[in-house]
Chain A
């Protein structure tokens, strides 16, 4: 079980690096917003796997809070994008 969880954490790290690559490369602001949204969702999975590894309950609470904050951030950025042209 521990080995499996370590492999799972490495796969999730790879996934978040793919998201970060897209966030760095762009080319437009909405691309970066999409990458940020995906990264937030991957980090929720990260917290859940970590809670199994450490057998601590509060990592799940962290995941719930992260889901809330990620949603609010995405919607705020989307509202910001609506009033702007795409390369500003």
Chain B
């Protein structure tokens, strides 16, 4: 194994560790919002590490078009995954999924109630 292959193996191993931990969080955590934050961060970063490993492999083996595509894929995952997660969290909250009973704060609910009060004042 050359030096580049060792780097590729290390990057893919880190990515796999993140992926598995994110999936364990998805199974073990108590409510939608906890699961969402575990999977979004861990699985996204894990997949980006795997894609980075592939990019290093491609550039080391003289295949730059594959490397550029891999970098494009990683950038795309890094950009879109948080946007999708935010949309899902917003949809879950609006559809009335309750928080875990031991949650201590719900600032979105407070902000929502406050803005509705202000709307009432303006209507009067």
Q: Name A residues whose Cβ lies closer than 8 Å to a Cβ of B.
A: 1, 4, 8, 11-12, 14-16, 18-19, 21-22, 28-31, 33-35, 37-38, 41-42, 44-45, 48-49, 51-52, 57, 60-61, 63-64, 67-68, 70-71, 74-75, 77-86
Contact = CB atoms under 8 A, between A and B. Distances in A.
B92 A57 contact: no
Interface string B14-32: 0110011011101100001
A50 B90 CA distance: 34
Nearest to B26: A22
Interface of B: 1, 5, 8-9, 12-13, 15-16, 19-20, 22-24, 26-27, 32, 35-36, 39-40, 43-44, 46-47, 50-51, 53-54, 57, 63, 65-66, 69-70, 72-73, 76-77, 80-81, 83-85, 87-88, 90-92, 94-97
Contact of A49 (B27, B50, B76, B90): B50
A39 to B, nearest CB: 9
Contact of A71 (B36, B53, B66, B80): B80
B94 A15 contact: no
Given A15-B19, A75-B87, 14 more contacts: A1-B9, A8-B12, A14-B20, A18-B23, A28-B92, A33-B92, A35-B26, A35-B39, A60-B54, A63-B51, A81-B91, A84-B95, A85-B95, A85-B96
Given A35-B26, A45-B47, A67-B77, A28 B32 contact: yes
Contacts of B66: 51, 57, 60
B23 A30 contact: no
A44 B51 contact: yes
A28 B47 contact: no
